[in-house]
Structure 1
């Protein structure tokens, strides 16, 4: 349990949430909703003793975040498999595109049902473009094909390369991967927000830093922090290391103006308990984990706080 000398990990998040809401620069944004924003905050979370930065001042659907991370590692970029698992967090973007381009006023449930039932519909409307997973495990390369032409080469699996590098060269300063492929940003439903991950080995422990170009503190942060900690734990297990520390940092850390109720309600709550994340088996590779391999205990959060997603 946290003590006076070691306060609950969540207080640094609540402090940042308050700082952004009370002192952030109010700005227009791409979504038209408007935000309050601060630039460059940093937080640090110990992952020792299976600790995990899973927010307790509101219920976080950690299995949804875990399913999303496992989906990224498959390289899939279509929402169909997520929808099969009842994960809806990526549906709003293709749904919005479908409504705009067809004019059909279809609700989310009907759209997802068509994605599941109709192969051609799923292929056309369920695809998100070359988002996270594509860049993580299938970054495109090109090679000369004569007379100024190029042909597609062997894709780069950044995650497989990262695991190999941690094992072979743990003191390297190149233990990282990124989703920010400049050439393909325009084809993505949403350019990567949690875009660059870097790792550091010392004393038999693996630590990591996640840099986000953009972080929605009201909704996105809870998933981003948990997922980054989960991935670090997976990498540590695969490389026979202990988990160390997760460092989280952001460029634009913001709160949407229509999340005022969320901010006030969450800040009125006190963190409670110490969530623990355990991995129940060690698969053959980083790509062989299943949702059943992850177990969270000691999690007794306050109730969920509903808030709209800005698309």
Structure 2
């Protein structure tokens, strides 16, 4: 007989991020190495996207393996055991195969018991989508502890010789444990999609490599997505001026700077993890939040705006209080 995880009735007036974890591969790829492969100048990479170095996974560092590392750290940070996890959501778009899903393997390797486990593929906004689902599950009373893991091995899906993707995308993982709260600390998401422009970021079936129309994606991001940011703040009951930090998807530094400027809050801290991590797709938002907390730039209870956007085209923004 299959075991069923214990559930409800759980406290559900709100939810919170109770713990964060991050995993960054050891292998550092410099701009010089990336530039040589792509046939460009190292300075051109930094000037164009603001990246100085990125991390690439070693052969044994799979999406699942990196997710396990990040998940373990998030559980330790929250003081919760793997056996207490009711649901595990894996945000990824870089699994080598659609079956089996990655989430069940991550759950098994963590030591979770009878845990519901499923993948969410919203590309670079995947973590924000998964976090919204986790918040809803907790508030609905369907789960007490939901582990959201974002893990990507984008180096498998880009050609190092493609100047538009090779020097930009990278590997890594991060995780957040979502638990009940006496009041909301994860606020309602503002999300959507524009599938009419889905062809801007695709995987070519003949090569298996990503293709991206970078300039068009830049224009879409910096011109069409501000309403989502404004709506996320409204749904949290705050103004942008009350934000402590802004953690957008770490696509490139130019987009981050443009979005931060458009928010128009002097002194607003913006995550710039992309500079030393590259674009880690779904993992980039939680890696950025983890870095801000580790560096002491945000503290427990600080309101932070998370904002993912990417292939699909998909986007999702939500305000959270720093764990």
Normalising by the smaller structure, the TM-score range is under 0.3
What TM-score do you get using the length of structure 1 for normalisation? Answer: 0.26
For normalisation by structure 2, the TM-score amounts to 0.25
Larger-gyration structure (1/2): 1
